[in-house]
């Protein structure tokens, strides 16, 4: 088998193999990594996370088998999760489709056809997507197949297993192809600068849509749901239901009422693949030329003649630097969008829960829980991207102009974080609460939410003695699995806290005020702690070297 694969690979054109290898290693953007970054370790942790989810699903399913009437729900959850992961990775690798300025400058003068570059790029991104799909489903596919075989006989195992993988790969290909089609069409139609602006918006919107669909879409639980005419528009609009029907078609378990959905999946898949191929072939050469002619970054609007002053000179400089980097740097924007799409999905959920304007409903646990999640993900997102450098070589200007003590810089970063992260979430929560919630519990929760924002920011900035985006990190060294599980634990604990402590307290003014007092004391304590530490801090722009102690063994 291995020999067949090797023979097949060796028959591919040499230039394709060389380019594919190069692009595969660059699916993770090397410019955001420092010299010592460990890309395979970084990808390994990403894969490990997906494998853990898959193993968890399989183990849970086999240990506590779901009732047969839950199988549709599980199938839709798996398809939705696969589409979510494929969608997120596709959006993250969006910029890899077209050659960047460096590719164009290096490969442009070489006798390599643009078509070959395109194929190698798509193959590299597709390989990563396939890897993600396999990691996410390898254990759960076996687990669900075994469960299905237990009630339908051993022959059903193979059919379920094949149907599962056909569906997962088809749904992934559909989503990736659709995004490529959108990208190819817009690159063909729009001038490059507008295309870049459009790309930025599409990435952010795509994240929000993917999370909103995943978290908010209802499930079809029974054949009666599938046949109900009132849900047909929703079924027709969401690819999750199409591929759910496709899965059941392949598995031989689709009721006749769902056949039109399966057809829609096949047609959608064909359209996505054809659309991506045609649109990219049409626009690729033109885009490659434009990449050389025009800069990657969009210039600011020409009518921007005055720079706003927010606080002192240092505060203004850092706040605007952070804001502009977030808005203009693709890497930062995309990663932040990943977190903010969860915030957005939470916000949509709150809007969804809202009654008609003018009517007041009592405060329920979901409101404080969702707003707390929003705050946590907003702060986490900002903290996650803060160490990603924008241009390490340009940091000399910050060092040469460092005329004030480090604590001034650290304080300016704290204020900027409060202004850019905590304030927007709090204002959104306030707008959604004061319109239709009783004033006292809503006000008390908003006070707690604000203080929680302060506490989270102070925790996030402990030891962060640098200007955001000016110091290198080593993503390969970051333990994403650890971070993921810690975040999950924090969210669970926070939810439990809201349910068991905050929500009951909100019903009693004295308890609520006392709780606000405790939060205020914690927030003030943390602030004092960080300010004291900042007094002896050194602002750093390079990762502190690891201290190696060598034992002489004497």
Site for other proteins, rule CB under 8 A? 294-302, 304, 307, 309, 312-314, 316-317, 320-321, 324-325, 328-329, 390-391, 393-394, 396-405
How far are the Cα atoms of 221, 239, 327, 391 from residue 33, in angstroms, in the given order?
45, 35, 20, 11
- CB nearer other proteins, residue 14 or residue 400: 400
DSSP state of 361: -
Q: Cα separation of 367 and 356, whole Å?
A: 16
The enclosing H or E element of 449 equals: helix 439-460
- CB nearer other proteins, residue 113 or residue 399: 399
Q: Taking the complex as a whole, how short is the minimal distance between the CB of residue 103 and other proteins, in angstroms? A: 16
- CB nearer other proteins, residue 227 or residue 420: 420
Contact 129, 84 (CB under 8 A): no
Q: Taking the complex as a whole, how short is the minimal distance between the CB of residue 198 and other proteins, in angstroms? A: 17
Q: Cα separation of 145 and 159, whole Å?
A: 8
Q: Cα separation of 241 and 219, whole Å?
A: 9
- CB nearer other proteins, residue 110 or residue 304: 304
Q: Taking the complex as a whole, how short is the minimal distance between the CB of residue 421 and other proteins, in angstroms? A: 20
- CB nearer other proteins, residue 401 or residue 500: 401
Secondary structure, 3-state, 278-336? HHHHHHHHHHHHHHHHCCCCCCCCCCCCCCCCCCCHHHHHHHHHHHHHHHHCHHHHHHH
Q: Cα separation of 280 and 115, whole Å?
A: 9
Q: Cα separation of 443 and 506, whole Å?
A: 10
Q: Taking the complex as a whole, how short is the minimal distance between the CB of residue 293 and other proteins, in angstroms? A: 10
* Integer Rg of the chain from CA: 26
Q: Taking the complex as a whole, how short is the minimal distance between the CB of residue 534 and other proteins, in angstroms? A: 16
Query: What is the three-class DSSP state of 73?
Result: helix
Strands (E) across 170-320 are located at none
- CB nearer other proteins, residue 404 or residue 508: 404
- CB nearer other proteins, residue 402 or residue 495: 402
Query: Where would I find the H helices in 330-365?
Result: 330-353
Write phi, then psi, for 268 (nearest 5 degrees): -60, -45
Q: Taking the complex as a whole, how short is the minimal distance between the CB of residue 536 and other proteins, in angstroms? A: 16
Crossing angle (nearest 10°) for helices 509-535 and 439-460: 20
Q: Taking the complex as a whole, how short is the minimal distance between the CB of residue 377 and other proteins, in angstroms? A: 25
- CB nearer other proteins, residue 171 or residue 331: 331
- CB nearer other proteins, residue 321 or residue 540: 321
- CB nearer other proteins, residue 10 or residue 305: 305
Q: Taking the complex as a whole, how short is the minimal distance between the CB of residue 469 and other proteins, in angstroms? A: 9
Contact 335, 95 (CB under 8 A): no
DSSP state of 539: -
Q: Taking the complex as a whole, how short is the minimal distance between the CB of residue 308 and other proteins, in angstroms? A: 10
Q: Taking the complex as a whole, how short is the minimal distance between the CB of residue 398 and other proteins, in angstroms? A: 7
Q: Cα separation of 271 and 172, whole Å?
A: 14
Count CB atoms within 10 A of the CB of residue 243. 30
How far are the Cα atoms of 2, 48, 87, 96 from residue 132, in angstroms, in the given order?
22, 10, 11, 17
Q: Taking the complex as a whole, how short is the minimal distance between the CB of residue 329 and other proteins, in angstroms? A: 6
Positive or negative, the CA dihedral 317, 318, 322, 323 is: negative
Q: Cα separation of 219 and 200, whole Å?
A: 31
- CB nearer other proteins, residue 225 or residue 294: 294
């Amino acid at each position: 088998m291995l020999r067949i694969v090797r023979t097949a690979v060796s028959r591919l054109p040499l230039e394709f193999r060389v380019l594919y290898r190069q692009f595969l290693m660059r699916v993770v953007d090397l410019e955001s990594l420092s010299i010592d970054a460990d890309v395979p370790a970084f990808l390994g942790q990403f894969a490990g996370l997906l494998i853990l989810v898959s193993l968890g699903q399989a183990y849970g399913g086999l240990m506590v088998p779901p009732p047969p009437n839950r199988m549709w729900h599980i199938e839709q959850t798996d398809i939705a999760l696969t589409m979510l992961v494929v969608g997120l990775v596709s959006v993250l690798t969006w910029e890899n489709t077209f050659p960047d300025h460096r590719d164009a400058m290096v490969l442009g003068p070489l006798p390599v056809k643009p078509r070959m570059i395109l194929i190698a790029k798509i193959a590299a991104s597709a390989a990563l997507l396939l890897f993600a799909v396999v990691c996410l489903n390898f254990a759960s596919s076996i687990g669900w197949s075994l469960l299905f075989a237990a009630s339908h006989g051993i022959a059903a195992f193979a059919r379920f297993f094949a149907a599962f993988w056909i569906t997962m790969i088809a749904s992934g290909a559909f989503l990736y192809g659709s995004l490529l089609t959108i990208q190819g069409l817009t690159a063909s139609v729009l001038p490059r600068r507008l295309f870049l602006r459009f790309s930025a918006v599409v990435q952010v919107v795509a994240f929000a849509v993917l999370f909103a669909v995943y978290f908010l879409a209802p499930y079809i639980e029974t054949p009666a749901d599938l046949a109900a005419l009132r849900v047909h528009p929703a079924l027709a609009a969401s690819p999750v239901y199409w591929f759910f029907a496709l899965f059941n078609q392949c598995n031989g378990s689709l009721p006749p009422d769902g056949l039109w959905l399966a057809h829609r999946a096949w047609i959608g898949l064909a359209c996505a693949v054809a659309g991506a191929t045609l649109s990219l072939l049409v626009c690729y050469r033109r885009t490659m030329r434009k990449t050389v002619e025009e800069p990657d970054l969009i210039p600011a609007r020409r009518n921007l003649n005055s720079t706003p002053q927010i606080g002192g000179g240092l505060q203004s400089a850092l706040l605007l630097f952070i804001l502009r980097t977030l808005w203009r740097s693709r890497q930062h924007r995309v990663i932040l969008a990943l977190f903010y799409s969860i915030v957005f999905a939470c916000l949509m959920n709150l809007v969804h829960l809202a009654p008609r304007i003018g009517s007041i409903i009592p405060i329920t646990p979901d409101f404080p829980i969702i707003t707390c999640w929003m705050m946590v993900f907003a702060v986490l997102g900002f903290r996650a991207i803060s160490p990603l450098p924008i241009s390490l070589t340009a940091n000399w200007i910050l060092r040469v102009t460092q005329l004030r003590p480090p604590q001034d810089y650290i304080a300016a970063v704290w204020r900027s974080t409060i202004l850019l992260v905590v304030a927007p979430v709090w204002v959104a929560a306030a707008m959604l609460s004061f319109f239709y919630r009783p004033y006292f519990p809503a006000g008390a929760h908003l006070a707690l939410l604000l203080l929680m924002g302060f506490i989270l920011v102070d925790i996030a900035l402990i030891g962060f003695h640098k200007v955001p985006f000016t110091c290198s990190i080593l993503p390969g060294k970051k333990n994403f699995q650890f971070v993921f599980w810690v975040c999950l634990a924090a969210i669970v604990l926070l939810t439990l806290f809201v349910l068991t402590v905050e929500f009951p307290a909100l019903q009693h003014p004295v308890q609520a005020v006392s709780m606000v007092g405790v939060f205020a004391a914690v927030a003030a304590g943390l602030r004092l702690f960080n300010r004291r530490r900042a007094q002896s801090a050194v602002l750093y722009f390079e990762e502190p070297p690891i201290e190696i102690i060598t034992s002489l063994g004497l």
